[in-house]
């Protein structure tokens, strides 16, 4: 079972060659953010290398994070919108936004549309209103619904997004990462932070002591 604390302790122990002191230049918070970035990169890579070549398009469950109580606000043009709590992984067909639904009806998710498809659907006399169903389009960090769903007493929604958000987990919470990722993550984090050395304590009066003068510099 991997947690933020276990992974950061292992990385810091290897970097410091033992138990790091309080003045060690790399802190656990630095490792946690780098860990989040690497896991999101791995999830995307695995989706393209493994999931899609196998003929499957649905992301693995370890990629999906659930965000509840996302507020819905009404627009003047008869639509409504919500703001994404985080920006998901960029996947084909906007699959990074996996599901959005009314928390009271989790088995009836809203219909996803690609950006601009709502305008195209309106040209069809039969499907113009999507038969009264609720659909949504992503626009930057905003989700726009085709109806004012607040009129249906839907003031909050639940979003399932393909993203690893480190802020969702405490230091001792189990991280939803595959077991085969752990060793690779630790080794890469050690390599990433290993060039960072502790300060010598010597005061340097020159702010550009290690800089080379321009090639056209003349005395």
Local structure of 66: helix, strand or coil: strand
User: Which of 40, 42, 19 shows the shortest CA–CA distance to 86?
Assistant: 40
Cβ distance 136 to 113 under 8 Å? yes
pLDDT score for 119: 67
CA distance linking residue 35 with residue 7, whole number of Å: 9
Name the E strands within the chain.
64-71, 73-74, 80-83, 97-101, 111-112, 135-139, 142-145, 156-162
The answer as to CATH 2.40.30 being correct for domain 63-162 is yes
Sheet holding 156-162, edge to edge: 64-71, 156-162, 97-101
| pTM assigned to the model | 0.74
pLDDT tens-digit series, residues 108-166: 999 998 887 776 677 665 565 677 789 999 998 999 998 999 999 999 999 999 998 88
Looking at the chain, the domain(s) classified CATH 2.40.30 span 63-162
Helix ranges (H only) for 154-201 are: 182-193
């Amino acid at each position: 079972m991997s947690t933020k604390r276990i992974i950061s302790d292992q990385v810091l122990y290897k970097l410091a060659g033992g138990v790091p002191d309080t003045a060690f230049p790399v802190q656990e918070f630095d490792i946690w953010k780098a860990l989040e970035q690497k896991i999101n990169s791995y999830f995307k890579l695995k989706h393209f290398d493994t999931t899609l070549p196998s003929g499957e398009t649905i992301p693995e469950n370890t990629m999906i994070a659930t965000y509840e109580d996302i507020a819905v606000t009404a627009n003047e043009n008869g639509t409504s919108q919500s703001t994404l709590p985080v920006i998901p992984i960029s996947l084909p067909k906007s699959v990074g936004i996996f599901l959005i639904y009314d928390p009271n009806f989790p088995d009836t998710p809203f219909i996803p549309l690609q950006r601009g498809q709502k305008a195209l659907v309106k040209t069809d006399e039969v499907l113009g209103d999507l038969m009264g169903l609720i659909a949504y389009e992503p626009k930057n960090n905003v989700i726009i619904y085709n109806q004012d769903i607040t009129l249906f007493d839907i003031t909050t929604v639940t979003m399932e997004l393909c993203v690893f958000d480190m802020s969702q987990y405490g230091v001792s919470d189990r991280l939803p990462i595959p077991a085969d990722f752990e060793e690779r993550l630790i080794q890469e984090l050690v390599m990433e932070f290993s060039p960072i050395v502790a300060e010598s304590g010597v005061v340097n009066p020159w702010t550009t002591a290690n800089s080379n003068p321009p090639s056209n510099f003349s005395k």
